[in-house]
Amino acid sequence: MTTLRAGSATDVGRIRSLNEDSKRLVTEANLFVVADGMGGHQGGEVASALAVETVEERAGEASLESLKQAVRIANRAIFEKAGSDPDLHGMGTTTCAIRVVPGPDGDEIAWVNVGDSRIYLLRDDRLIQLSRDHSLVEDLLRDGQLTAEEAAVHPQRNILTRALGIDIDVEVDGGTVIPFTGDRFLLCSDGLFNEVSEDGITSVLRRLADPAEAADELVRQANDGGGRDNITVVVVEVVDDDGRSAAASAALAATAGGVDSAAEATTTGAAGAAAAGGRPVAGQTVEPVEPRTEKIPAEAVPAGPVFAGQRSSLPEPDDDYASERDDLYGGLDRERSRRFTWRVLVFVAAVLTVIVVVVGAVIWSARNTYYVGFKGDRVAVYKGKPGGVLFIDPKLQQTTDIARAELPQNLRSVLDSGKELSSESAATRYLVYLRTVAKDLGPDGSPNTTTTTPGTTTAPGATTTTRAKTTTTATP
C-alpha cells in the first residue's frame, strides 16, 4: 500500500478581498484537489467550491478515467449553475487533482488538469511540472512566440484557453506517475508560481520536511513576492511506496543505463524509458529487460526456410486466405465469383451508410451550432458554421455594440475566423467575456490602467477566459 502524508495552506493574498481558490484533501481516498475560481460577484468562489466538492463526491472508483469523468461532471454542474443564476453568469474555475490508483504493477498516482493551476513533482531534488497550463501565454510559449522570461510577466498571462463552467463539455488532461518514497507532489494555484520562482519552490520543498510547514512557507513567500492573487498550495509526500524504490534500485543496478531526460517524461504518452535519477516519471513503467536464459526447445525452431506446400510447423492458412490465394492464381469458379460480388455489395452499402451518417452530422451541426464573428466592424452572433457548410449559410442572430477597435489583436483574429460555440447560451457568455476584455484591455492588448474590476468573465476557445485583473500587473 502506498502511504502518503499531506499538508496545505491557502491565503487571500495581499490585494484581493476574497479568496476564490478552493482545495480538498480527502486523505481516506488519497485524493487531493485544487481549484482557482473566477467570475464576478461571488462567482469565482462558488465555481471553485463546486468543482472540488463535485470531484470529491463523484471521483468513484480509483482510476484515471473516473477522475477525469468527475472533472467533466463538475464542469457540467458549474456550467448549468452559471446558466441558471444571472449573478453567477460567466463564472468558471481551473481544477487540478491527484489520486492514488491501482496500476498493473502496483499503485500509481493519477493526475488531471484543466486551466492553469499546476501539478509539480519533486523527485530527487528536481522539480518537474506534470500538468500543462491551458493559457494563451502557454500557447504562445509553445509556438516559440515568447520566451519563458517574457511569459512570466506577460500582461495577458491570466487569459485561459480552457476552464470548467465555460462550455457544456470540457477536455481534461491527465496521466499517471509511478510513485517512489520521497516523491513530493505539489498542487497549487497561479498565485504561487506567479510570485515564487521554480527554484524558490524547489528549495522550500527540499528544505522543509513537514508538508504542512512547506505549504505555509510557500504561501508566506508568495505574499512576500507581492501576493497579487489568492494563493493555494497542497503538498503531498509519498512516505511509503511498498518497497518499490528498493526493487527499482536493484533492477537499475542490474541494468545500468536507460536514463533519459525527465522533461520528455512529463507527457504520459511519451515512448521509452524516461526517468529522473533512474526512476520512471510519468505514465510508463521502465521494465528492465531480463536477459533470456532459458533454452528454446529444438522443435520450436524451423530447420530452415519453409515454403508453401511443404508440411511444416507453420499454421495452416485459414479458408479466406486460401481462397484469396487461389483467386490470385486463377481458378475462379462461379461460387467464388458470387461470393466476391456479395462482398463488394456489402462493402459499398457500408461505405454509403458512413457517407449518409457523416453528411447528416455535418448538416445537423451546420444548423445547430453558433459562432461569434464580425458584421462590419461590430461583433455579431451567427447560427451555423463560419463560411457555411454545403448549401447551408450561417444566419445572423444579433449584432452587438462591441466594436472591433475595442478588442485586442489576438481576439480580432479569433473572431475573423469565427469563434465556434456549442449553444446559444455559450455564445451569450462569450459576449460577456468579450465585453470584459474590451473594458479590461486596450486595443494593444495591455491592461487599461484605470480599471480595478475584480470581476472576471470566462469563455471558451482559443483565447477564452480572463482572470480577475489588478492594476499592478507587470508589463514586459
For binding to Mg ion (CB under 5 A), which residues are involved?
A: 36, 189-191, 229
| Contacts within 8 Å (CB) and 24+ apart, 207-215 | 210/7, 211/5, 211/6, 211/7, 211/8, 211/184, 211/235, 211/236, 211/237, 212/7, 212/8, 212/9, 213/7, 214/7, 214/184, 215/7, 215/8, 215/9
Q: Are 175 and 101 a contacting pair, CB within 8 Å? A: no
Minimum Å gap between C-beta 34 and Mg ion is: 10
Phi-psi region of 277 (alpha: psi -120 to 50; beta: other; left: phi over 0): left
DSSP per-residue string spanning 253-273: HHT------HHHHTSTT--S-
Nearer to Mg ion by Cβ, of 15 and 26: the residue is 15
Q: Give the residues across from 204 on adjacent strands.
A: none
Q: Give the residues across from 383 on adjacent strands.
A: 370, 395
Minimum Å gap between C-beta 246 and Mg ion is: 40
Dihedral sign for Cα 161, 162, 165, 170, please. positive
Minimum Å gap between C-beta 385 and Mg ion is: 35
The DSSP element (H or E) to which 405 belongs, if any, is: none
Nearer to Mg ion by Cβ, of 38 and 270: the residue is 38
Minimum Å gap between C-beta 108 and Mg ion is: 29
Using alpha carbons, list the distances in angstroms from residue 176 to 146, 249, 360.
29, 21, 38
- Residue 300, Cβ neighbours under 10 Å: how many? 7
Nearer to Mg ion by Cβ, of 15 and 62: the residue is 15
Nearer to Mg ion by Cβ, of 75 and 465: the residue is 465
Minimum Å gap between C-beta 264 and Mg ion is: 29
Nearer to Mg ion by Cβ, of 189 and 457: the residue is 189
Contacts of 430 (CB under 8 A, 6+ apart): 372, 419, 421, 459, 460, 461, 464
Separation CA 254–CA 331 (nearest Å): 59
Minimum Å gap between C-beta 232 and Mg ion is: 8
Nearer to Mg ion by Cβ, of 232 and 284: the residue is 232
Sequence length of the chain is 476
Nearer to Mg ion by Cβ, of 267 and 451: the residue is 451
Nearer to Mg ion by Cβ, of 191 and 418: the residue is 191
Q: How many CA atoms lie within 13 A of 179 on its CB side?
A: 30
Minimum Å gap between C-beta 36 and Mg ion is: 4
> How remote is the C-alpha of 58 from its chain's centroid?
19
Nearer to Mg ion by Cβ, of 107 and 229: the residue is 229
Q: Which runs of E-coded beta strand occur in 228-340?
A: 231-240, 275-276, 279-280
Minimum Å gap between C-beta 15 and Mg ion is: 12
Minimum Å gap between C-beta 361 and Mg ion is: 38
Minimum Å gap between C-beta 21 and Mg ion is: 7
Q: Give the residues across from 238 on adjacent strands.
A: 4
Nearer to Mg ion by Cβ, of 118 and 244: the residue is 118
